[in-house]
Amino acid sequence: MEFQDVVRRRRMVREFTDEPVSEESLQRILRNALRGPSAGFSQGQGFLVLQGDELKRFWEYGADWTYETVKTAPVVIIPLSVKNVYLDRYAREDKGWTDRDEARWPVPFWDIDTGMATLLILQTVVDEGLGAVYTGIGPEGVARLRADFGVPEDHEPIGVVALGHGAETEASPGSSVRKVARRAFDDVVRFGHW
């Protein structure tokens, strides 16, 4: 698929068929996520993939405010941001800092880079002819996720990507895109000065 088609077709899919995701597609999706940019090539991400019984257990509490139809997705990928990897990387000699001071980071690149990896997941899903939705996990869900799936304390889940073969032919009835217009280019983009 052409890149512009991937960008144009990417949308949140909230209902899935019961067709499984091929292992080949899942591997490609995950391998592409690893190609995302990361400050200092820190690569401070982790990805927890849930399917089958683990996924059923996750949906008992994970993202419990989402559409019930989302819970029919055969795969969930939970992108995890790992701040310590960035702090350690930038304390190395080639970066010129000698400490792990968080104050040096005006924005949390560990979260930004994990978000970029997540976008690569969403784009690759489209390229594979699949559908996906990104959603959050509440604080109680994060605690359960750590306990039930052994997620280390320094790995912060930034959300959930549920994916599979989309059962929708257009935007979901409750989708915000049906209620809010896309902002005009000139309202968002400024050249040279705001």
pLDDT in tens, 117-126: 999 999 999 9
Q: Are 30 and 75 in contact (CB under 8 A)?
A: no
| pLDDT tens sequence across 10-41 | 777 888 999 999 999 999 999 999 999 999 99
Q: How confident is the model at residue 177 (pLDDT cuts 50, 70, 90)?
A: low
Average pLDDT score over residue span 132-159: 93
* Predicted pLDDT at 65: 66
What secondary structure letter does DSSP report for 22?
A: P
The partner residues of 16 in beta bridges, in order of sequence, read 166
Has this prediction a pTM greater than 0.75?
A: yes
Mean pLDDT of the chain: 90
Output the six-digit token pair for 155. Answer: 């790995």
Whole-angstrom Cα distance, residue 45 to residue 23? 21
Q: Of 157, 173, 153, 126, which Cα lies nearest the Cα of 1? A: 126
- Helices and strands, counts by H and E, the chain: 7, 5
